[in-house]
Chain A
Amino acid sequence: MTTKPREPRIPVAYMLVIGSLIFFAAALLSPRDSIAVSPQSSSQDEEGSDVGIAVEHAATVSNCVSCHAMDDAGRMTRISYERKTPEGWQQTIRRMVLLNDVELEPDVARDIVRYLADEHGLAPEEARPGFFEAERRVIDYDYEDDDTEVLCIQCHSMGRVITQRRTKEEWELLVAMHRGYYPLVDTQGNPGFRRRGPPSSDGDGPSDSRHPMEKAIDHLAATYPLETDEWTAWSANRRAPRLGGRWGIAGHSAFSGPMYGFVDVTPVEGSEGEFTTEATLTNVRSGEATTRTGSANVYTGFQWRGRSTDPGEGDSMREVMFIERDWRRMSGRWFTGAYDEIGLDVTLYRADGPLITGVYPVALRTGAEMEELTIYGINLPTDVQPADIDFGPRVVVTEIIDAGADAIRLRASVATDAAIGKRDLFVGAAARPEALVVFDTVDAVRVTPQAGMARVGGVVAPKQFAQFEAIGVSNGPDGEPGTDDDLDLGALDVTWSLEEYSATFDDDDIDFVGELGADGLFTPALDGPNPGRSGNRNNVGDVWAVATYESEELGRPLRGRALLIVTVPLYLNMRGWEPGR
Chain B
Amino acid sequence: MKHLQPINQKAGKIEHYLEHDVVALSGQPRGYTVPQQPDSPHIPMGCSLVFSPGWEVDRSGGTAGLCQPVERDLFDCHLGCFWPAHVPDQLNHSPDWTSKCAAAQKDWRSLDIIFP
**A205 CB within 8 Å of chain B:** no
Residues on B with beta carbons closer than 8 Å to the beta carbon of A15 = 91-92
* Chain A residues closer than 8 Å to B43, beta-carbon distance: 140-141, 153
What string of 1s and 0s marks CB contacts (under 8 Å) between B56-85 and chain A? 110011111010111110100000111111
> Within the assembled complex, what's the spacing in Å between the Cα atoms of A566 and B70?
13
What chain A residues lie within 8 Å of B47 (beta carbons)? 153, 453
A182 pairs with B51, CB closer than 8 A: no
Q: Report the count of interface residues on A (CB-CB < 8 A).
A: 71
Q: Mark A422-462, 1 if CB is under 8 A from B, else 0.
A: 00000000000000000000000000001101000001111
Query: 1/0 per residue B102-114: CB within 8 Å of A?
Result: 0001001101011
B37 interface neighbour in A132, A157, A450, A541, Cβ under 8 Å:
A450
Interface: B30 (CB within 8 A)? no
Q: A505 contacts which chain B residues (CB < 8 A)?
A: 13, 17, 22, 24
In this assembly, does B20 line the interface, its C-beta being within 8 Å of a C-beta of chain A?
A: yes
State the majority secondary structure of interface residues on A.
Answer: loop
Q: A154's contact among B13, B51, B72, by CB below 8 Å, is which?
A: B51
Contact status A183-B81, CB under 8 Å: yes
Main secondary structure of the interface of B (DSSP, over half): loop
Closest B residue to A340 by beta carbon equals B45
Chain A neighbourhood of B89, CB < 8 A: 181-182
Q: Which of A138, A184, A563, A568 has the most CB of B within 10 A?
A: A568
Q: Is the CB of A540 within 8 A of B82?
A: no
Chain B residues in 8 Å Cβ range of A140: 38, 42-44
B45-A528 in contact (CB<8A) = no
Choose among B36, B62, B64, B71 the residue that contacts A450 (Cβ–Cβ < 8 A). Answer: B36
In chain B, residues 9-47, which have Cβ atoms closer than 8 Å to a Cβ of chain A? 13, 17, 20-24, 34-38, 42-47
Min distance, Cβ A131 to any Cβ of chain B, angstroms: 13
Q: Which of B50, B61, B109 contacts A150 (CB 8 A)?
A: B50
Interface status of A572 (Cβ within 8 A of chain B)? yes
Q: From residue B88, how far is it (CB to closest CB) to chain A in Å? A: 5
The answer to whether A529 and B23 have CB atoms under 8 Å apart is no
| 17 A-B pairs (CB sep. < 8 Å) | A153-B47, A450-B37, A451-B44, A461-B113, A503-B62, A504-B22, A505-B22, A505-B24, A509-B63, A528-B71, A529-B71, A535-B69, A561-B35, A565-B61, A572-B87, A572-B116, A575-B115
Task: Give A residues with C-beta under 8 Å from B.
Answer: 7, 9-11, 14-15, 94, 98-99, 132-133, 136-141, 150, 153-157, 159, 181-184, 188-190, 450-451, 453, 459-462, 501-505, 507, 509, 528-530, 535-538, 540-542, 560-563, 565-576
Q: Hey, which bits of chain B sit against chain A, CB under 8 A? A: 13, 17, 20-24, 34-38, 42-52, 55-57, 60-64, 66, 68-72, 74, 80-96, 105, 108-109, 111, 113-116
